[in-house]
Amino acid sequence: MAQTRCTQARDAQMRRQFRRAARLLLDSNTGSYLKSLVRDTGPARRKGIFVHGSRQSADVIAYFGDSLDKMYQLEQWLPTFERLNLNRPVVVVMRNPESFAAAKDITDLPLVLAETQPDLIDLYAQNDYRLAIYVNNSMRNFQSMAETSIIHVHVDHGESDKTSSISNQLKAYDKVFVAGQAAKDRCLRAVWGIDPNKLISIGRPPLDGDFQRVLPADPRPTVLYAPTWQGENEANNFTSVDVLGPEIIRHLLADGVRVVYRPHPRLTDMGESSVQQADAEIRSTLSDASAKGSEQFIATDQSIFDLFEDADVLISDISSVSLDFLYLHTDKGLIITDRHDDPSGTRSQSAIGAELSVLSSSTVQGLAEIVEQALNGSNALSSRQRLKSHYFDGHQAGESTQAFIDAVEHAISEREN
d(CA 319, CA 338): 11
The more confidently predicted of residues 11 and 106 is 106
Query: What's the pLDDT at 160?
Result: 77
pLDDT-derived band at 11 (thresholds 50, 70, 90) equals: low
pLDDT in tens, 308-352: 999 999 999 988 899 999 999 999 999 999 988 888 878 877 888
pLDDT-derived band at 398 (thresholds 50, 70, 90) equals: confident
CATH code that applies to domain 49-207: 3.40.50.11720
Buried b (16+ CB within 10 A) or exposed e, 194-212: beeebbbbbbbbbbbbebe
The more confidently predicted of residues 396 and 82 is 82
Whether residue 233 has pLDDT greater than 90: no
Query: What's the pLDDT at 394?
Result: 80
Cβ-contact 308, 314 below 8 angstroms: yes
Query: What's the pLDDT at 20?
Result: 64
pLDDT-derived band at 161 (thresholds 50, 70, 90) equals: confident
Q: Which residues pair with 112 in a beta bridge?
A: 51, 93
Domain boundaries, the chain: 49-207, 222-392
Buried b (16+ CB within 10 A) or exposed e, 29-55: eeeeeeeeeeebeeeeeeeebeebeee
Query: What's the pLDDT at 3?
Result: 55
Whether residue 1 has pLDDT greater than 60: no
DSSP state letter for 366: G
* Fold classification of 222-392 (topology level): Rossmann fold (3.40.50)
Measured from the Cβ of residue 390, the count of other Cβ atoms closer than 10 Å reads 17
d(CA 357, CA 282): 23
Query: What's the pLDDT at 351?
Result: 84
- As a whole number, mean pLDDT of residues 11-30 equals 64
pLDDT in tens, 285-303: 999 999 999 999 999 989 9
Query: What's the pLDDT at 22?
Result: 64
In terms of C-beta density within 10 A (0-12 exposed, 13-18 middle, 19 or more buried), how is residue 190 classed? middle
Is there a shared CATH topology between the 49-207 domain and the 222-392 domain?
Answer: yes
Q: Which amino acid, residue 134?
A: Y
Distances (CA, A) of 122 to 110, 117, 127, 252, 260: 18, 9, 9, 56, 48
Q: What is the mean pLDDT of the chain?
A: 88
Query: What's the pLDDT at 110?
Result: 98
Whether residue 42 has pLDDT greater than 60: no
